[in-house]
Chain A
Amino acid sequence: MEYFDTVITIVGYEDTQEKFDAVADEILSELGEYHRLYSIYHRFAGIENLCTINELVNGSHRTVKVDKRIVDMLIYAKEMYELTDGMVNIAMGSVLSLWHDYRELGGDDPAQAALPPTDKLKAAAQHTDITNLMIDEENCTVTLTDPQMKLDVGAVAKGYATEMVARKLEEKGVTGYVLNVGGNIRTVGTKPDGEKWTVGIEKPNGEDYLAYLELNGESVVTSGSYQRYYIVDGKRYHHIIHPDTQMPAEGFTSVSVVCKDSGLGDALSTALFCLPLDKGIELIESMPGVEAMWVDEQGEKTVSSGFSDYVKE
């Protein structure tokens, strides 16, 4: 499965189908551009993207001149690293690509499914220092100074791209839309009658809702252990890898973050999935306009102090 290879849903209110088509086309075309720039798995003719930044030429990474949208996102991702005390680290590509490869193999042939060997994971973890990601903002260039490091922006880029597209819509005065880009939900304005959007957050078993939220221009992003996984010897291994252990983070089945900025929501939902509950609560309570809901492996729900303001009565 490719990153960004996900389902996108657009719901909008317009008087005519033509008007909706025009806005939806614009949203998809913008998301397509971000997808091509942020893909770590595919190259596209004529553009430098994260895939070409990651590739080695004669044993080392090139200094690559890239689109400003890549530079801006990488700078944002570095800020998220600082904010989350390293729980969101886009320099973990070497570790995450091992998990990706083993997950793909295990998915293709469940009988052969295996975990990445610990020695390989530990060796890869030696090459995840984000300070080796050099960004020259003025000249729009990016260099990875450690030849064995790789970028993986899975915890940030989808939410960041969603946010950028939503802001562009807002600047144009568009209202009455909601985007769902692979679980990154971003509302753009209210519905035409002024009512808020209702968002149902599904339980991991899909049988019921964890919560009904009412949103008015905000985002909600959920990270869940049930979203992407594979099975080895009867045990599920999900895709959110803890930076300290290089293993799937334990403790929660789902964490949802409500805030204005979908990029922030995306990064924080991943970070909270990896942080112990008390540290996570501390982080969220220190940030105005950000609320969260944790569901642990026993199904126990915890919410931050202002979360109930968004819950539909």
Chain B
Amino acid sequence: MGDNKKNNRNKIRNDIIFVAVLLFAAVVGILYLFVFRESGNTVKVTRGGELYGIYSLSEDITEDIHTVNGGLNRLVIKDGKAFVDSASCPDGICVAHPPVFRNGESIVCLPNKVVVTVISENDGDSPDIIA
């Protein structure tokens, strides 16, 4: 049983897993992001549907993301976790979101159309999808 599970896991690793995350706005589906699950502990940032950048969670950074609507989201990576430190959006839901670091977790700023998603190697304990 244990061996089977291990084999299955290896098989999963060998498969390419594609993840598409998109902001589905009123008129157009905005973004399309494909990633390989085996890409290590990183966060991917998309802005207005386009890939904006990929950052390692192991390096502390502050990145000002100038958004498509003229706004700003400040992404901070610190101690292996990513969070939005400040933002021009009216609701502030992205700023209130707790730091993300687990595979698949994301912070979404709908007004500014910015999505921050954690993409990590699946260690077998991470869920396939998060609600």
A interface residues with partner B (beta carbon < 8 Å)? 1-2, 4-14, 16-17, 20, 24, 28, 31-32, 35, 39, 41-42, 107-110, 178, 180, 183, 185, 191-195, 197-202, 205-207, 209, 212, 220, 222, 230, 256
Q: A193-B8, A193-B11, A206-B98 are in contact. Are A14 and B128 (CB under 8 A)?
A: no
The reply to whether A198 and B131 contact each other, CB–CB distance below 8 Å, is no
Given A5-B25, A7-B21, A199-B127, 11 more contacts at CB 8 Å? Answer: A1-B111, A7-B106, A8-B20, A9-B19, A9-B21, A12-B18, A107-B91, A195-B12, A199-B129, A200-B127, A206-B105
User: Which 9 residue pairs of A and B lie closest in terms of their CB atoms, listed nearest first?
Assistant: A200-B127, A206-B98, A198-B127, A107-B91, A20-B18, A193-B8, A10-B20, A200-B130, A108-B90
Q: A14-B18, A20-B18, A42-B26 are in contact. Are A191 and B12 (CB under 8 A)?
A: yes
Closest to A31 in B: B24
Size class of the B contact interface (CB-based, 8 Å): 35 or more
Chain B, residues 29-49, CB within 8 Å of chain A (1/0): the string is: 100101000000000000000
Q: Which residues of A contact B15 (CB under 8 A)?
A: 13, 192
Q: B23: CB under 8 A from chain A?
A: yes
Q: Which residues of A contact B16 (CB under 8 A)?
A: 14, 16-17
Q: Which residues of B contact A17 (CB under 8 A)?
A: 16, 18, 34
Closest to A222 in B: B131
Q: Within the complex, what minimum Cβ distance (angstroms) separates B116 from chain A?
A: 11
Q: B61: CB under 8 A from chain A?
A: no
The reply to whether A11 and B98 contact each other, CB–CB distance below 8 Å, is no
Q: Within the complex, what minimum Cβ distance (angstroms) separates B33 from chain A?
A: 10
Q: B118: CB under 8 A from chain A?
A: no
Q: A7-B23, A7-B115, A20-B18 are in contact. Are A198 and B98 (CB under 8 A)?
A: no
The reply to whether B91 and A195 contact each other, CB–CB distance below 8 Å, is no
Closest to B97 in A: A206
Sample of 29 A–B contacts (CB below 8 Å): A1-B91, A1-B111, A4-B24, A5-B25, A6-B110, A7-B115, A8-B29, A9-B19, A9-B22, A11-B18, A12-B18, A13-B17, A20-B34, A28-B24, A32-B24, A39-B26, A107-B90, A178-B129, A191-B12, A191-B128, A192-B11, A197-B129, A199-B129, A200-B104, A200-B131, A202-B105, A206-B105, A230-B91, A256-B131
Q: Which of B53-83 contact A (CB under 8 A)?
A: none
Q: Which residues of B contact A42 (CB under 8 A)?
A: 26
Q: B108: CB under 8 A from chain A?
A: yes
Chain B, residues 120-131, CB within 8 Å of chain A (1/0): the string is: 000000111111
The reply to whether B22 and A8 contact each other, CB–CB distance below 8 Å, is yes
Q: Which residues of A contact B111 (CB under 8 A)?
A: 1
Q: Within the complex, what minimum Cβ distance (angstroms) separates A273 from chain B?
A: 15
Q: Which residues of B contact A110 (CB under 8 A)?
A: 90
Q: Which residues of A contact B98 (CB under 8 A)?
A: 205-207
Q: A13-B15, A107-B91, A205-B98 are in contact. Are A199 and B128 (CB under 8 A)?
A: yes
CA of A2 to CA of B111, assembled, Å = 10
Residue in contact with A8 in the complex, picked from B24, B104, B126, CB distance below 8 Å: B24
The reply to whether B20 and A1 contact each other, CB–CB distance below 8 Å, is no
Q: Which residues of B contact A230 (CB under 8 A)?
A: 91
Q: Which residues of B contact A193 (CB under 8 A)?
A: 8, 11-12
CA of A7 to CA of B32, assembled, Å = 11
Q: Within the complex, what minimum Cβ distance (angstroms) separates B65 from chain A?
A: 17
Q: Within the complex, what minimum Cβ distance (angstroms) separates A22 from chain B?
A: 12
CA of A183 to CA of B24, assembled, Å = 13
Q: Which residues of A contact B24 (CB under 8 A)?
A: 4-8, 28, 31-32, 35
Q: Within the complex, what minimum Cβ distance (angstroms) separates A14 from chain B?
A: 7
Q: Which residues of A contact B131 (CB under 8 A)?
A: 180, 183, 185, 199-202, 220, 222, 256
The reply to whether A9 and B20 contact each other, CB–CB distance below 8 Å, is yes
Q: Within the complex, what minimum Cβ distance (angstroms) separates A117 from chain B?
A: 22
The reply to whether B8 and A5 contact each other, CB–CB distance below 8 Å, is no
CA of A8 to CA of B21, assembled, Å = 6
The reply to whether A28 and B22 contact each other, CB–CB distance below 8 Å, is yes
